[in-house]
Amino acid sequence: MKTGSMIAAFVFAVLVACKSANAFCLFACTPTEANARSVFEHQFLRSLYHNEKYSISSFQKVSEREQKVPQAVVYTIFANVTVVFPEGANRLCNREEGFSFEKLQAIGNECNSVMAMTNPTFVGYVAPGGSKTFNNLRFDFLKTDKGWRGMDGATY
């Protein structure tokens, strides 16, 4: 057997062994900052603010970790995100513009401080041209046979 053939056979055997042990990975071994940004964009578009014009001016991964729990592997990315609202956000929540109980009923919980404590992407009132920074947002990805499934239901 030629040396080249032996090397090729060895490499093939190692690849097969590693793949069967779920230890081999060439690309996208773990979720990336870009994947977390996609999850944020998908969730933000589905949120209360989907009608507001916005742009993400900063998305920075702060930390990441992999957790193995019974029958699952979860990869978590924490990120700081800054969103700019060129026309403002939730302008009806501005007390200086005649905020009233009737307006609150008309727009639901968007001005509610309780919601701000329970919803990590709560925006509240933002003046035109203003921004909102979300610190340490958590993005969980579940390992599946097809890749990593994000909180938005997409597989990365």
Interval 72-96: pLDDT, tens: 999 999 999 999 989 888 766 665 6
Give me 56's structure tokens.
């993400």
Structural contact between residues 88 and 97, judged by C-beta atoms closer than 8 angstroms:
no
Reference 138, options 78, 62, 56; nearest CA is 78
Token digits of residue 74: 């979860």
pLDDT tens per residue across span 40-74: 998 876 776 667 788 999 999 999 999 998 999 99
What's the pTM?
0.68
* Burial readout 94-129 (b: 16 or more C-beta within 10 A, e: otherwise): beeeeeeeeeeeeeeebbbeeeeeeeeebbebbeee
Average model confidence (pLDDT) across the chain: 77
Looking only at the bridges linking them, the beta strands covering 55-69 and 147-150 are unpaired
What's the alpha-carbon Rg for the chain, to the nearest Å? 22
**For residue 20, what pLDDT is reported?**
41
- The per-residue pLDDT for range 26-36, each reduced to its tens digit, is 665 899 999 99
pLDDT at 146 (0 to 100): 93
Residue 100 predicted with pLDDT over 70: no
Backbone torsions φ then ψ of 53, nearest 5 degrees: -80, 130
